[in-house]
Amino acid sequence: MTRFSVEAAAERLRRRANLAAYLGDLFRHGAIALVAAGSLALALRFFAHASRETAALGLVLLVAIAPATAFVAARRRFLSPAGAAAWLDVRSGGTGLLLARGESGDARWDSAVAPVGGRVARPPRVRLRALLAPLLPSLAFAIAAFVVPVPAPRFVVRPLSESLIERLREKLAALEETVDIDPAVEEELEKRLEWLESGAGNARPETAYEAADRFAQRLEAEAAKARASAERALSSLAAAARRDEAAERSEAARAALEELRASGLATGEMAGLEIPEGLILSEADLAQLARDLSSFLEGPLSTLAGAGLLGAPGAGELPVPAEFFEECDGSCGSEPGEG
């Protein structure tokens, strides 16, 4: 006959009880993780149109942490050696013999303990069916979240339309026609348009539309930069007209012309317009020059505005600074070159 050992019985009971506590928390936490994962999968599949494989990642991540969280929760309820001995004593009839033997460790108690020890030699079984009860509905819900068919999206983003490509092509043509842009920038813009015309490569429609929008913004930025430079050129002429010294006025006017050339809007004969060294310009000369430049710029700026590159209505207009009309009404008829 096998000799009964209080210590061995208590250890077997602890292992069985602690396993039951851990499994109970594991299945409860697993049920919560499955419900959360199933809900996440449904949301991803119905609203983000994600694939089953992508949605499964959420299931794996949520379920993977359940064992760790269950252990943290269950360890607070793990049975201690003293608790196991007390439970054995209660189940053996509450005589206190098992407790006395466990606490004293004296083998002389064995003969007294043996008759009652047989009643608790085997620990109770783990009731897996009861522990699994909360897990099964959650598992069914998670499976359904992946099995249920997802309707096709009602709104499908279509590839770039030919009309949109044509508008971008017209904008680029208008910019190249009116603005002398840097060759490297021009090459970059041409390549970006070619990429869009080719169907935006293998990009998704959303990406292609975003690229088309950025391309249009880039064209508008180049046009706005040219207009701003032209405005600064006319403002520089207005500042030059206020100079007291005639030589300073002429030098400031040369700087204004340089600013205009830098804008890229001075093309053809206007690009080669210069004020010869030694030529002294009067205020009337500067006013006339400003009006001529403004009149010349109306053409390219109107082209840019008509192509939708300058934004708000009237953005193609570039008025002559009011100073010229206020200060030169009485002298604008003077001959050029008169100081």
pLDDT tens-place string over residues 44-55: 888 877 788 887
Q: What is the pLDDT of residues 166-175, one digit of tens each?
A: 888 899 988 8
Please enumerate in sequence order all residues whose Cβ is within 8 A of that of 195, keeping only pairs 6 or more positions apart, or say none: 201, 211
The Cα 247–Cα 67 span in angstroms is 87
Show which of 104, 121, 147 is a domain's final residue: 147
Residue 335 has pLDDT above 50, yes or no: no
What's the rounded Cα separation, in Å, for the pair 57 and 32? 16
The answer on 294 and 189 residing in a single domain is yes
Q: What is the mean pLDDT of the chain?
A: 74
Element (H, E) at 134: none
* 173 occurs within a structural domain: yes
- Residue-range definition of the domain harbouring residue 198: 164-327
For residues 204 and 210, give the distance between their C-alpha atoms in angstroms, rounded to a whole number. 10
pTM of the model: 0.46
Looking at the structure of the chain, the number of domains it has is: 2
- Of residues 226 and 110, which shows the higher confidence score? 226
| pLDDT of amino acid 101 | 55
Note the pLDDT tens digit of each residue in 237-290. 777 777 767 777 777 777 777 777 777 776 666 666 677 776 777 777 777 777
Assigned domain for 336 exists: no
User: Do 140 and 222 fall into the same domain?
Assistant: no
d(CA 128, CA 27): 10
Beta carbons within 8 Å of 14's beta carbon, 6+ residues apart: 78, 79, 80, 81, 84
Give the residue from 92, 114, 147 where a domain finishes.
147
pLDDT of residue 337: 41
177 and 317 belong to one structural domain: yes
